[in-house]
Amino acid sequence: MSATQQSPGLSMAPPRVYVERTLALIKPEVLHKTEEIEDIICRSGFHIVRKRKVHLSPEQCSDFYSEQYGKMFFPSLTAYMSSGPIIALELARHNAIATWKELMGPSNSLKAKETHPDSLRAIYGTDDLRNAVHGSFCFTSAEREIRFMFPDETIEPVPAGTAARDYLNLFVNPTLLAGLTELCKQKPADPLTWLADWLLKHNPNRPDIEEKSI
């Protein structure tokens, strides 16, 4: 019997489906819509693992949104998120982080109404600050935010390599793919040096320096 053949009566084990967890927040202005939003969440295939109603202080909001520290909207964000109670939900399902981000829609509710009219932010939000819901950005932020809202929670470790793939998909692959595509079009004699120069020139994190003649 060849390596690719199966013995009669034996079936291949189904591939393991990794269940992700992410954090969702229902913001102060839509607290009265919590049941409606939870119903949409459950009908979208999520399991609500834990739920908590909490009123954060401005200091706690500053800690929660520490990744946004220094941005112009940071004071308004922390003041708004501490203005009333919020609902924290720990959600679980396959591909939970990306699915929840898609269900929320763009962060600016006005844009969401135009481009993603069926999203939660389009339906319940009013602008880029009062946009109804929050969701974790990636695996790292999901773990941190869940621990913040549910300090006694034990979170399954992310499978080896998943965090690295998440990082590459968010910060490296889009620029690298564009560079490789252009490389195939140009076909330079020294492809490695050409690609290195292209990546340096098109680095999205490179600061814009305005050159002025004297």
Which residues are catalytic, by number?
Answer: 134
- 60 CB-near residues (< 8 Å, 6+ apart): 82
**What is each CA distance from 125 to 102, 132, 183, in whole angstroms?**
15, 5, 42
- Residue 141 and residue 167 in contact, taking contact as beta carbons nearer than 8 Å: no
The sign of the torsion formed by the CA atoms of 37, 114, 141, 166 equals positive
How many Å apart are CA 166 and CA 77, to the nearest integer? Answer: 26
SS3 33: helix
Q: How far apart are CA 145 and CA 136, in angstroms?
A: 7
Are residues 149 and 139 in contact, defined by beta-carbon separation less than 8 angstroms? no
The C-alpha atoms of residue 54 and residue 41 are separated, in whole angstroms, by 20
Written as one letter, the residue type at 6 is Q
